[in-house]
Amino acid sequence: MTKGSLFSVAARSASYNIILQVCMRLLTFLLNAFILRYITKEALGVINVRLMLLYTTTQFLSREAFRRACLSNPDGGKWPQVINLLWITVPVSVVCGTVLRLIWLYVLEPPNPEVVPAYELGVNVIVISVVLEMMAEPLFVIGQVFKFVKLRVILEGLALLIRCVVMASLTVYFPQRPLTIFSIGQLLSSIVYVFSYYIYFMYHFSVSRTQHIIVFPFTSVKDMLPRRIKDKPFLDWTLANLTWSFLKQTVMKQFLTEGERYVMTLFNVLSFAEQGVYDVVNNLGSLAARFIFQPIEESGYLFFAQVINRDVAVEKQAKDDVILSAIVLRHLLRLMTLLGLTVVTFGQSYSDLLLLMYGGKSLGTGLGPFLLKWHCVYVVFLAVNGVTECFVFAVMKKGEIDKYNQKMVLVSLLFLLASFYLTKHFGSVGFILANCINMGARIGHSLFFIRKYFKATRLVPLEGLVPNQAVVVMFFLVFLITQSSKVFLYNEAGVIWWLLHILVGCCCLILLLTVIYMRERPLVEFLLHYWKEKHVDVKEEDDKFA
């Protein structure tokens, strides 16, 4: 497969993952809106903050480093060692889950059992679910490496659908047992997720044998299980050491990604009810990041990791590969910058209405809209950081990763201090401001690394951070128009006025997209070319390659 085709597959993978994220967040969005009518805000805070933090922490620590290390396409002879390494995620999840279970049950302050019963059951089920899901991790990585782009979307979507249906159905009849209902839905979704992967690959191998088609170096599901390898070590220790480096980095990344939840959970700065409201606003404010940014980042990392050899200096890489990676990086930066600016521009004028429609006056007035507007600002930082870090992590050498981990310790301390100080002076908004500082520091490091990496080639992919001047002017005009609409239309009582406010926003969005289409033609053509599996001509950048 050519390098251009790799990005074409990555682009389609990103699109399918965007669909997955949209479906997942839409289901979660609707589920929260539904169950808010039946359960208390305290229960919502325990489920969405305390228990889901345990889930993401255990899951992230157990698998993220292994995924990053193993997603590079290895030589056929190394696949058995890669499989063995991936199966280590199971004992790692047992260890992480056991330690975190003890902390969640005996160190952290538990919720009032009369208000939120079955807390211990919820903690135990979360740990069991993560261990079960790790049993499908080798199959997940194989599916990603060999471009089964729809598989992840379908199976993760199915698992989430089952959890949401179970929770919504049982909540109507047993609203007084929210954590028990959550536990049942979570366990069922994890079981379906794991069995679906094995059933799919068993079916795939059966069809392949019947049609005599061999697409990768496996003939049965048995080849995806751990085993001894004749005349070879059990693990590829170079890959294992890389995984260890990523694991140290993962700890820092997880803390920085979920920083405000850790501060809430460990230091009780907000009550469970306040955590529930903050989580709702936080989820709404991060919709763009979860819907669009994360799939693009994952596909971008997969592309860069397979095009660039992290152990070879840039001057010794294949010239076309370096040029192609620079072109892709530049356009991804431009795309994410435009998406981030779109969110912050419209978010300032439509946060109040969105929260009012979602959760009623309790969310649509007071602190809620103010929090959501600041989240929209934070989205810009998320957009830029996601793309810059996905490139940096894909090309860093092992020693550079270790140095980066040390720097992240300082960034973590900065974030912790900023959280305490800013929360003390600005309340809940302080968490968002601290996250902006955290992301700003990480972006600064990544920009410095990228500039240094491409310095010898004279390629300047960071140009993608600066949109066309006409587009910037259009963003400013849209902001003025929508703010005026908010003052003169939204603040009037009545649904008709609110519909007019929405209509103004839709017209502004169409106008903005038209200007972007006209003024950002290189970006539009680039995306269209790759979606249609065409190749970008790298010769246009040849004169910049020293």
Burial of 223 from C-beta contacts in 10 A (0-12 / 13-18 / 19+): middle
Quote the mean pLDDT of the chain.
83
Report pLDDT for 239.
84
**Count of other CB atoms within 10 angstroms of residue 61:** 22
How many Å apart are CA 52 and CA 37, to the nearest integer? 20
Report pLDDT for 24.
66
Report pLDDT for 533.
53
How many Å apart are CA 434 and CA 442, to the nearest integer? 13
Instruction: Report which of 235, 239, 254, 247 is spatially closest to residue 401, judged by C-alpha positions.
Output: 247
Report pLDDT for 519.
93
Report pLDDT for 19.
67
How many Å apart are CA 456 and CA 146, to the nearest integer? 33
**Count of other CB atoms within 10 angstroms of residue 322:** 23
Below-70 pLDDT ranges, the chain: 1-25, 28-29, 32, 36, 72-77, 149, 211-216, 256-257, 287-291, 359-360, 362-364, 492-493, 530-546
Q: What is the pLDDT of residues 305-316, one digit of tens each?
A: 888 888 788 888
How many Å apart are CA 98 and CA 34, to the nearest integer? 33
Report pLDDT for 515.
95
Q: What is the pLDDT of residues 116-127, one digit of tens each?
A: 899 999 999 999
Q: Please, how many CA atoms are within 13 Å of residue 329, restricted to the half-sphere of its CB?
A: 30
Tokens of 512: 């903005």
How many Å apart are CA 467 and CA 334, to the nearest integer? 7
The residue type of 116 is V
Nearest-5° Cα angle at 19, 15 to 25? 135
Question: Can you give 434-471 as a three-state secondary structure string?
Answer: HHHHHHHHHHHHHHHHHHHHCHHHCCCHHHHHCCCHHH
Report pLDDT for 371.
83
Tokens of 514: 């038209």
Report pLDDT for 531.
57
Report pLDDT for 275.
77
Q: Please, how many CA atoms are within 13 Å of residue 381, restricted to the half-sphere of its CB?
A: 20
Report pLDDT for 81.
87
